Amino acid sequence: MASTGAELLQGDRLRRIKDKLATACVTAGGMLVLCTLMLIFGYLLYVIAPLFRGANITLQQQVAAPMVVDYASWDENAKQGWVFNHQGEVMRVDLSAAHFAQPLARAHLNQAAQGNRYFSATEHAYPLYGYSDAQGELQLFTLLWQNQKIEMRPLPKVQLPISQLTHFTMALRETDVVHQFILTVVASNATSLVVRSGLFDSELDTVAWDSSLQMPLSDAPIGLHVNYTGEQIDVLSADQLLRIDPHLKLIQQVSFAEVPKLLFAQNKPAQYSPTPVNLPPAIGMQLLAGESSILIRHQDGTISQWFELVHDGHRQLHLIRQFKMDAAVQGIVAEPYRKSFAAVDGKELALFYTTSPKALMSTSLWDLGAFEQGVFSHNGQQLWLLGAQQWQLLSVYNPHPEISFSALWQEVWYEHYPKPDYVWQSTAADDIYEPKISLVPVIFGTLKAAFYALLFAVPIALAGAIYTAFYMSAPMRRVVKPAIEMMEALPTVILGFLAGLWLAPLIERNLPAVLLLLVLFPLSVLVTGFLWHRLPSRWRNQMPSGLDAIVLLPVLIAVAALAFALSPWLEQLCFGGDMRVYLTDHWGIGFNQRNALVVGIAMGFAVIPTIFTIAEDAIFSVPRHLVHGSLALGATPWQTLVRVVLLTASPGIFSAVMMGLGRAVGETMIVLMATGNTPIMEWNVFEGLRTLSANIAIEMPESEVGSSHYRVLFLSAFVLFMFTFLFNTLAELVRQHLRKKYSNM
């Protein structure tokens, strides 16, 4: 007996040791899971944080340079630049040197370019520069930097047919022939405009056209610009803005004293406000990168942005937004490849980006003197300001100007868009584009896909779980339940493949049948159930208990076959032979082959096993004494199910639905292959969508590491992470509440 007691004591000691080891392992595993989640959370925040770090400008170098500057430009290598001063000379400067105002080389222009003259330059296709005097004599030339010397190559002089010239500008675009360009020169005086265009290679050749236009201006022009194609001219006076098409001689005219304001309503065309906007007189203008938007400086420190919209069948310049400085803005410096710009008002320097009217940053201006010229480096990381007394080289930290609260979460009015909208378009074919990175369309697409998936899956999964757990016979349940749970192991890439390549064309070809089945399937189940109970009891008793649902299988198969057989006839009779065209032409409902209906069905099949398994376990786990007690008191099986079983199992059923929602929100492969991935905000079940997870999968391989696009995709992952966390937390809170509420049953 002593030996047996010692063995039992030893066994108890080993059991306690094993229990402690198991507890420690489980605790360590749980802590590791939490640590992993926190590390993921922390890394996402680490990548996202730079998006919301403010812009900053610091003074890098400052040198005295008392001269009047007509024009300055910066080489692509951000090391050297050109300066054209009002004394008729061009200088090459080294911007990386401590005394960068000391030129590396100088070249004097000829006497004809000195005196009362006007300067213009174009560097879009090929660097070309020009001086003109007040009588319209134009001297064009190119510059080369070779062997530490400036080589100037003048072209033949051009006499413009205009007197008392006040402004001139030019544009150069490349032709299909190598080393040939179309040069367009625009000059103006107080009332008229002259446009001359010709072929340029080594000299100015045949004139293509020469046009003169009278400008309907009440004051002399204070600004003139021609776009790089030479087909759009903007003229600014103190109280008017003109946009001119020299080919068609069409003039758009805007008066700052009475600017019509557009109002937008949901799903309605734009309307003009009865109270127009009154803008102060203009003092200058600057075009943004891409030359679609015009920035106009006004006397009170306002900067207004304008671009063209199509309204009432005509293109017209419209006021889009306004930026505000404390005093009249002396100059605007636009970045060459982004929609950022710097504004100088004599006391302050501010950075703006055109998706938000608020300044990215502002700082007190160093002792610059009167502002004359400014130019950004090609990468936007340096800003060169040239004043009457000082030249300043500024270091600019502004890596993500396009990211703001309004750009991510609010409607933004982008160039060439008819109204403010939520848009996701992170890349474009042109280098000069405005990234559109609103997260609202992809969040909407995520919720839309989850909604239609649950709309398909929840009724089927819960009905199947109720029947399997409460009505089905035990032998049949042992077969059906594992079979449905095995569906969980089916790779979603296969479901997405089948949905995109088989289901989507099938639905497109048989759309009337699919819509008809939405009505016929529930109706056929009800009719079959009604007829089954009208049969004599001796017939019904021959069917083993719990196997009644087998009767439905041939009925559903026959109804589906009937619907697909009737589909061509219904389409021809009711929809003119093509239901898709009919929906678009008569009801205004668009149809894409890969749409939310396809996603709802395919993702529904992926979500059904999750909801079914959890809900079925919850219903089957309801204590049997509650069921037997209800039946013993005279309740019918249906009353017992509705008033006892479902209430008791409601925490588990709710958890099943929320788990299915989390699965639908995070699904990637099905929505990637079956939605068309169109980031549009449309509840139409026949339109496509793009979800957060699919957006990350599509665009992450193409994004540049550290770019705004890259970090916004990580922000999308963070939002998706928070969605699942929110849904799971909500599910747990509701489950605990329901468990507490029905725990006494």
pLDDT tens-digit profile of 275-313?
788 889 999 999 998 888 999 999 988 999 999 888 777
- State the average pLDDT over residues 535-540: 78
Please state, in angstroms and rounded to a whole number, the distance separating the CA atoms of residues 130 and 185.
10
pLDDT, tens digit, for every residue of 708-741? 999 999 999 999 988 888 888 887 788 777 777 7
Check if the beta carbon of residue 623 is closer than 8 Å to that of residue 469: no
Q: For 500-530, how does the pLDDT look when each residue is reduced to its tens digit (9 = 90+)?
A: 899 999 998 889 999 899 889 889 988 888 8
Look up residue 245 and give its two tokens. Answer: 């098409």
Residue 277: name the closest of 299, 296, 253, 260 by CA: 260
Least confident of 102-111, 259-268, 278-287, 576-585: 259-268
DSSP secondary structure string for all residues of 250-302: EEEEEETTSB--EEEETTEEEEE-SS-B--PPEEEEEEPTTS--EEEEETTSE
User: Which DSSP category does 412 fall into?
Assistant: B
Whether the predicted pLDDT of 459 surpasses 80: yes
Residue of higher predicted confidence among 726 and 465: 465
Q: Are 627 and 619 in contact (CB under 8 A)?
A: no
Residue 130 β-bridge partners: 120, 140
Angle at 696 between CA 486 and CA 448, to 5 degrees: 65
Q: What is the 3-state secondary structure (H, E, C) of 647-702?
A: HHHHHHHHHHHHHHHHHHHHCCHHHHHHCECCCCCCCCCCCCECCHHHHHHHHHHH
Confidence of residue 113 (pLDDT cuts 50, 70, 90): very low
Q: What is the DSSP letter of 109?
A: P
> How does DSSP assign 341-395, residue by residue?
EEEE-SSEEEEEETTEEEEEEEEEPPS--SEEEEEE-TTSSEEEEEESSEEEEEE
Residue 53 identity:
R
Q: What is the pLDDT of residues 186-215, one digit of tens each?
A: 888 888 888 888 877 655 555 555 677 788
Q: How far is CA 667 from the centre of its chain?
A: 20
How much is the mean pLDDT over the chain? 85
Q: What is the rounded (10 degree) CA torsion for 13, 19, 25, 29?
A: -170
Question: What is the rounded distance in angstroms from the CA atom of residue 425 to the CA atom of residue 434?
Answer: 9
Q: In Å, how far are 135, 323, 723 from 116, measured between CA atoms? A: 10, 35, 66
* Mean pLDDT of all residues in 162-166: 82
Q: How far apart are CA 598 and CA 660, in angstroms?
A: 18
How much is the pLDDT for 273? Answer: 75
pLDDT band of residue 2 (cuts 50, 70, 90) is: low
pLDDT tens-digit readout, 322-371: 999 988 899 999 998 889 999 998 788 999 998 888 889 998 877 777 88
Question: In the structure encoding, which two tokens stand for residue 489, read together?
Answer: 């192991």
pLDDT at res. 710: 93
Q: Residue 632 is inside which H or E element, if any? A: helix 624-632
* Residue 604 exposure: Cα atoms within 13 Å on the Cβ side: 19
* Residue 621 clears pLDDT 90, i.e. is over it: no
3/240 Cα distance (integer angstroms): 110
- In angstroms, the Cα distances linking 524 to 521, 528, 557, 611 are 5, 6, 11, 25
pLDDT at 607: 93
Average pLDDT over residues 400-429: 87
pTM of the model: 0.86
Q: Is 184 helix (H, G, I), strand (E, B) or coil?
A: strand
Q: Listing from the earlier edge strand, what are the strands of the sheet with 80-85?
A: 69-74, 80-85, 89-94, 103-108
For residue 687, which amino acid is it? E
104-108, 288-292, 446-450, range with greatest mean pLDDT: 446-450
Residue 116: what pLDDT? Answer: 60
Q: What is the structure's pLDDT at 112?
A: 45
The pLDDT of residue 18 is above 70:
yes
Pseudo-torsion of CA 133, 134, 135, 138, nearest 10°? Answer: 30
> Which range scores top for mean pLDDT: 180-184, 439-443, 626-630?
439-443
The residue-averaged pLDDT of 547-552 equals 76
Distance, CA of 736 to CA of 152 (rounded, Å): 83
pLDDT digits (tens, 9 = 90+) for 72-87: 988 877 788 889 888 7
- φ/ψ of residue 136, rounded to 5: 90, 15
Structure confidence by residue, pLDDT tens digits, 358-406: 889 998 877 777 888 899 998 889 999 988 888 889 999 999 998 988 8
**What does the block give as tokens for 722?**
């928070």
SS3 102: coil
Give me the DSSP letters along 193-223: EEEEEEEESSSEEEEEEEEEEE---SS--SE
Longest dimension (CA), the chain: 128
Q: Are strands 268-272 and 282-287 parallel, antiparallel or unpaired?
A: unpaired
8 Å CB contact between 160 and 134 = no
**SS3 for 626?**
helix
Amino acid occupying residue 722: M
Give residue-wise pLDDT tens across range 215-232: 888 778 888 999 888 888
Q: How far separated are the first and last CA of the chain, in Å rounded?
A: 49
